[in-house]
Structure 1
């Protein structure tokens, strides 16, 4: 099948990984990236905050110049925040089904006006694929025709664990790891600081942590910036315990870390939610907490019990593979819904 794929073509982006999964499934994928119109950080911030309204003419012209690729069987839009109503009208002229895959929170309020243009374009999509947390009624009021709710996904190739722990570079070995971005108002820094003050040996990787007001207390535990590729897998597999946090502003009940961690061979220690409890058997395949004090207790117990820790890690590793939440699995489910 010929698929026109509109998304980020950066080698380390989840959008690119999903396009490659479609290729592994045997489809011919033509990838175009309208985000190349955002040439600088200042320009990106401006358009993010104004919902990309000022960019719509450029995006529409960009698509007109690049969609002359024959007659695709399907148009796959990944993310879609740059594409407004007129952009979708241009795509509709190709007279082929259009699917939107967005695992963010396009109808939420955390990111201000970021998704203004996307929301106006929703009625033009034949199928909107969203993460499991989203309520269909919330999307249908924007004129969405059809909704498919899915788990967040890992990538079968990108997140494959190392064959043997000895292959993991020493700089990625840790006791308790948190891999993620510092986010204003989410209080991740306060949570990790409480773990540290309780004597939990925490290692932190991720972007923007020097912006934290608690940076002076955290910097001794900071191991480096955002991770990707084999470094990301190494930090997960090289940790005895991996802390998984949600973005409450994004209304998360699970994240990509919820499946990438266990697939890459890590032990998931995350906030207790209905979705997490539906994915893993608690204390057998993953461990969960309601607050920082419970997390401290779990970390102390598991760091002192190698046998139990390894049992949970292996069980989580086995379980995530039965959930069918790899990129290839999710792509197959989407194509099946569209009768391909």
Structure 2
């Protein structure tokens, strides 16, 4: 198919673009974030207000790039700056328009950030969310059809890579967390450190944590993506998957990426996690920080058990099919079904 992909050509969005191309599709990318100056003010104003007063820049940019073009389908990734006017233009150019959003744009938690997204929701043919508990909220905000899916790993990026001696010198660890600081994460990891769990933390903003002085020796500041992210997970015996409490997550991309890389996945017990893996056999789940510490310390004393659970987790995530190469055709098939229904009605 000839697809228009509207999103960032990098990060997990870039992984989806690459996966679509591996699946044989011709993919054109429009990056809406190139529509405005890349400076501190605009980045801040984007996150806080969806470019209030400047959102016309995105409309102008998108419509000028779209002029005279036609596609079989338009795939909008995230879409926080894509207005109803632009979605309607996409529908004329691309027959069917899908929105895929891994965030949680259906609550009022983020203030004005989702104001444009909410207005555009009714104009999408299909809205895809990784938050199955938000389907009714999406419908209530005007979405016409909603598909709930699990967050995927990428079959190329997230795999059991072999680490060189240099990689091991940099990334070997007992227990690792890779991710940005959030207020609820500092106390949990501080408690693990107090309990003697040997931690390594990679990520941004940890210097802002009130617990930073207690965790300083564990922290390597800076974002890890792609191959470096995979190596940091692969180099650890146990990798923690911490949820975002602000968004009410029941699973995240870490929930599939960590087992797919071949490392033991250790996370909070949730309904999603329990449905995805057998606790104690394919992953290890905990109920509170001390429970997490107890389980990490017990596992570190039994390296063979770590290897057994990690191998079983890898087999399970492959059996579950939680990868881009499986998810993206599912979304496309669902969107094509919507398009066929619309054609019959017309």
| Shared fold, TM over 0.5 | yes
**Structure 1 residue 198 displacement after superposition:** 0.7
The reply to whether residue 200 of structure 1 matches residue 197 of structure 2 is yes
Moved more, 202-211 or 68-77: 68-77
Question: What does 1:275-286 correspond to in 2, within 5 Å?
Answer: 275-286=272-283
Relative to 1, partners in 2 of residues 1:132 and 1:50: Cα closer, same or farther, differing over 3 Å? closer
* Runs of 5+ unmatched residues, structure 1: none
Counterpart in the other structure of 2:304: 307
CA contact 2:129–2:135 (8 Å) conserved in 1? no
Deviations 1:3-25 (A, max 9, x none): 01100013xx1111101111100
Counterpart in the other structure of 1:241: 238
**Structure 1 residue 226 displacement after superposition:** 1.3
**Structure 1 residue 134 displacement after superposition:** 3.3
Q: Distance in 2 between matches of 1:195 and 1:241?
A: 13
Deviations 1:64-87 (A, max 9, x none): 111136320000100000112222
Relative to 1, partners in 2 of residues 1:273 and 1:313: Cα closer, same or farther, differing over 3 Å? same
**Structure 1 residue 55 displacement after superposition:** 2.9
**Structure 1 residue 43 displacement after superposition:** 1.1
Please tell me the root mean square deviation across aligned C-alpha atoms, in Å.
1.5
**Structure 1 residue 199 displacement after superposition:** 0.7
**Structure 1 residue 338 displacement after superposition:** 1.9
CA contact 1:53–1:117 (8 Å) conserved in 2? no
The reply to whether residue 267 of structure 1 matches residue 257 of structure 2 is no
Deviations 1:42-98 (A, max 9, x none): 211112211333232111111111113632000010000011222223223325100
Deviations 1:167-209 (A, max 9, x none): 84311000010111012xx321111111111111011100000
Counterpart in the other structure of 1:46: 45
Q: Distance in 2 between matches of 1:222 and 1:284?
A: 30
Moved more, 301-310 or 31-40: 31-40
Q: Distance in 1 between matches of 2:37 and 2:265?
A: 36
How many residue pairs get aligned? The number is 336
The reply to whether residue 254 of structure 1 matches residue 251 of structure 2 is yes
**Structure 1 residue 113 displacement after superposition:** 1.6
Counterpart in the other structure of 1:8: 8
Deviations 1:111-154 (A, max 9, x none): 22211110110000000000143332211112211111000011
Q: Distance in 2 between matches of 1:335 and 1:92?
A: 15
Counterpart in the other structure of 1:64: 63
Aligned-partner SS, 2:106 = coil
The reply to whether residue 28 of structure 1 matches residue 26 of structure 2 is yes
Aligned-partner SS, 1:110 = coil
Q: Distance in 2 between matches of 1:152 and 1:158?
A: 15
CA contact 1:271–1:290 (8 Å) conserved in 2? yes
Q: Distance in 1 between matches of 2:170 and 2:305?
A: 25
Q: Distance in 2 between matches of 1:46 and 1:221?
A: 33
Moved more, 142-151 or 65-74: 65-74
The reply to whether residue 327 of structure 1 matches residue 324 of structure 2 is yes
* Runs of 5+ unmatched residues, structure 2: 338-346
Q: Distance in 2 between matches of 1:147 and 1:215?
A: 41
Relative to 1, partners in 2 of residues 1:304 and 1:95: Cα closer, same or farther, differing over 3 Å? closer
